[in-house]
Structure 1
């Protein structure tokens, strides 16, 4: 029996998608792309609640990922079924998107991306780990972001996390905290940002699982506490590790948004959020390269605020078109493969 959709997950996922779109567009005005940086040109700002906007978006994605998986597999988790579904939900669409982007950039550059990288390193791309390991191993990273590799690792161990949480909840949560603290507050792995370390992302992912399993609803006092935390963090700007701030701000915003979703639960908003959620992975795969290609065609240091908003809208429209195309191309290919497999099985029976 198919489970009822939880509106708050669609609602928060839609907001997280918009945040990520804003993040990669606004990044064009930061020191990563522009010197001197021009943060005043960023749409809606770069640091809400004294936290980089991209860190907030990623945190929300980790939380809703844990919540969504726990909601689906709360009663039962067949290992074979789980890994099959995760594989099919991640890799085929990623490979299709990568193949198209690879050919596009090949035609643009007149050579492959990173031609000096050993060809064997294409395995990192095949397994979706190129973005995650881009600062450690040279590879052919084009799209997918580091988040993809990190979430793949979390999916791999989700059955174990679920088992430990449902069997030994208190001991498990204490263990998560003990793993989290040293990697968050100390530079244990210098060549790897703490935000990418699995143990640092455990609290967000596990909080999502805990919310579905035990908390279930966001109460007024939870949202009020979240608002107070956001206000204090904005005013006092504590000099705490960014990863630590990301954790408690991400959880606070999640609790606030869950409560807001109860008040904003209308048929129209449900339809909008459901559509964004449906195409969220395709948007995740396509938006960055589209934003880069569009921004490279405009004088970003000279563009007016009004024109910048127009350009962002254009990037969003192109992302919607590309994501819709990718989603349905993937569906058509998978359906064709399924039909071929069924035909071969029928022939073998004959």
Structure 2
């Protein structure tokens, strides 16, 4: 939903220029927070649920079945909509995204592919491929030094925008006041985002090994709120990712501790759990609804780019409802059945043992 809000802010739907500027200034990076949360949470959950009897092949199988069927369906949908809209189709804007390698390219057209949000799956693919080895290494860290490891990961996160300062200043990125090269290197390139995944792994080990500092969810969220203010305020590539990674690790860990100690949470309600279940599918479909649905119709070149406040709110509400509907359909008809059928290898039936013939 944070990513959805970011795209609403970037669309500048409102005729009131001050309102559009306000939303774009203060909410356009909320989705950046959401993506970082997803990456940190991935590392935490995969570590939390890792089984000692699991194999690398089985792990890869589960991860591939989890993300690729949804991706393939939305890739086909995006390709079909591009053809319908008369968009030029070529190998660059189709094949890299099909194989989830598009984010390694600094070309905007290649990276957005047929369905823009799938860029983050290219990062997740790197995370999944690296996880068995990362977990093996990180588990060797003595429990007393895990917080030191978390601090080193947090420092590494800040090194990424520091290195990006060596990159060219032109051209300027389409979404943020930063050069495209810095933007791509800091935000989109999979290797640069690996540290957020590692932060999640380290935080899970901290909780598992009894090294949690006792921070409450409320204090963790307060720290995250302050970090988001910093994320909005910092210039250039400094505010794209780095400020929120450690606070997000604290939020995820505090939430896990609250859960295992039986504390009540709004996130445990039936509605929130359902929204969580469909959130991956929602994320994958929402930009297609943005681009080819009601908002796309009023923001395409030649159309009026700003409508009255009530009309704009209506467009946002309809777009959200359609995204949720298509996300639910994708989850129900693709993601859940594929996980049930293919996430585990089928058990081979036991061969029947013939009883010996009776002796007369």
Moved more, 305-314 or 148-157: 305-314
| Structure-2 separation of matches of 1:193 and 1:75 | 35
| Structure-2 separation of matches of 1:215 and 1:336 | 30
Deviations 1:99-135 (A, max 9, x none): 12322332232xxx433x3x37743122123355362
Give the alignment partner of residue 195 of structure 1, picking from 187, 190, 201: 187
Change (3 A) 1:243 1:96: same
| Structure-1 separation of matches of 2:341 and 2:23 | 44
CA contact (8 A) 2:97 2:113 kept: yes
- Offset at 1:172? 6.2
Deviations 1:7-26 (A, max 9, x none): xxxxxxxxxxx101111222
Task: Summarize the alignment of residues 1-350 of structure 1 with structure 2, pairs less than 5 Å apart.
Answer: 18-29=1-12, 38=17, 40-41=19-20, 46-47=25-26, 52-73=29-50, 75=52, 77-109=54-86, 113-115=87-89, 117=90, 119=91, 122-130=94-102, 133=105, 135=107, 138=110, 141-143=113-115, 144-168=117-141, 170=145, 176=153, 180-187=157-164, 188=166, 191=181, 192-215=184-207, 219-220=214-215, 224=219, 227=222, 230-231=225-226, 234=229, 239=234, 242-243=237-238, 246-252=241-247, 255-256=250-251, 262=258, 265=265, 269-293=268-292, 294-298=294-298, 301-330=305-334, 334=338
CA contact (8 A) 1:67 1:209 kept: yes
Q: What are structure 2's unaligned runs of at least 5 residues?
A: 169-180, 350-360
Aligned residue pairs, count: 314
Whose RCO is larger (CA < 8 A, sep 6+)?
1
- TM superposition score normalised by structure 2: 0.70
Change (3 A) 1:298 1:153: same
- Cα RMSD (Å) of the superposition? 4.1
- Offset at 1:207? 1.9
| Structure-2 separation of matches of 1:139 and 1:45 | 23
| Structure-2 separation of matches of 1:331 and 1:198 | 24
Change (3 A) 1:159 1:285: same
| Structure-1 separation of matches of 2:195 and 2:311 | 40
Moved more, 297-306 or 279-288: 297-306
Change (3 A) 1:74 1:38: farther
- TM superposition score normalised by structure 1: 0.72
Q: What are structure 1's unaligned runs of at least 5 residues?
A: 1-17
Moved more, 37-46 or 96-105: 37-46
Change (3 A) 1:75 1:290: same
| Structure-2 separation of matches of 1:225 and 1:99 | 40
Moved more, 276-285 or 293-302: 293-302
User: Which residue pairs with 2:174 in the alignment?
Assistant: none
| Structure-2 separation of matches of 1:232 and 1:120 | 37
